[in-house]
Amino acid sequence: MNRVLYAALVVLTTALMGSSFAIGKIGLAYVSPLLLVAFRFTIAGVLMASIVWLLKREHPKTMRHWLQIGIIGLFQTSGVMGSIFVSLRTITAGESSILTFMNPLLVVIFGTVFLQLRYKIHQWAGVLLGFIGVFITFGAQINFKVGTILGFLSAVSWAIGTLLIKTWGQTFDTWVLTAYQMLFGGLILFGSSFLLEDPFFNVTLPSLSILMWLAIMASIVQFAGWFYLLQIGDPGKTSAFLFLAPFFGVLSGWIMLGESIQWYVMLGGVFIFSGIFLVNWTSKKMRARQRSEQQ
């Protein structure tokens, strides 16, 4: 693939990931947080499910497999996005994005503890750098705002979802899994909205525009672009570019919301991005060995 086109797709997908935090925070002026993400992922899930159905992609045939997709949706969509959007009530879009994209660091820890996966020394160094970066980002102090805790829980939920996909994902068609985990996650969020908040939706042109942007561009286009990049390139190398997403989260919060960027946020961000890069980085020698093992 042309390098310019590859780079453009990387920037597009990570920018959509990061900017959704600021756009979502703007949307909270019109819609309660859980209801907003419920509509976002239900719409995205219905559209993607319709596409994979029309394309006759292979669907699960057993109730157990549908249940597994539902559980993935509970963590990957409901847990992650519900925590993010509620966190935006009390912390900035930049802070929420930094906390959320700690998930690759948590994947290493959870994968070691629960799946007995083995990681290299440089990956553990990345985990250490990442957590130092989070400490620096919040002014070298532990700030127990509700939003801070929820932002961290979004990373925890994402890490669990990632490991569930690693464990069960090979059973499913990638696009079918993506479509239905979003749909199930959206439906769970609808129930959570009516149980955990006082739902409201002020239907206006701005609120509908924000909702459709989040559902189509920040969900369907983002997922499609990212999965395409993973398919055409080396997954380890491509995943390293996830460190761009929190950068765009902080940048979009500054541009769209006027959020101030303190020097320690930038310094902490450097540590976090370096940590995530080390966790995802694979040397040429290791990639060659992995390819030979797969053949």
pLDDT in tens, 40-95: 999 999 999 999 999 999 999 999 999 999 999 999 999 999 999 999 988 888 88
pLDDT in tens, 141-193: 555 678 888 988 999 998 898 889 888 888 889 889 999 999 999 999 999 99
The reported pLDDT for the residue numbered 286 is: 52
CA 128 to CA 132: how far, in whole Å? 6
The residues, ordered by sequence, that sit 6+ positions from 149 with a Cβ below 8 Å of its Cβ are none
Give the global pTM: 0.83
The reported pLDDT for the residue numbered 235 is: 56
The reported pLDDT for the residue numbered 63 is: 95
pLDDT in tens, 199-254: 999 999 999 999 999 999 999 898 888 777 766 765 556 666 777 787 888 889 88
Secondary structure (DSSP) of 2-26: -HHHHHHHHHHHHHHHHHHHHHHHH
**pLDDT averaged over the chain?**
85
Secondary structure (DSSP) of 175-212: HHHHHHHHHHHHHHHHHHHHHHS---B---HHHHHHHH
Domain boundaries, given as residue ranges, for the chain: 3-285
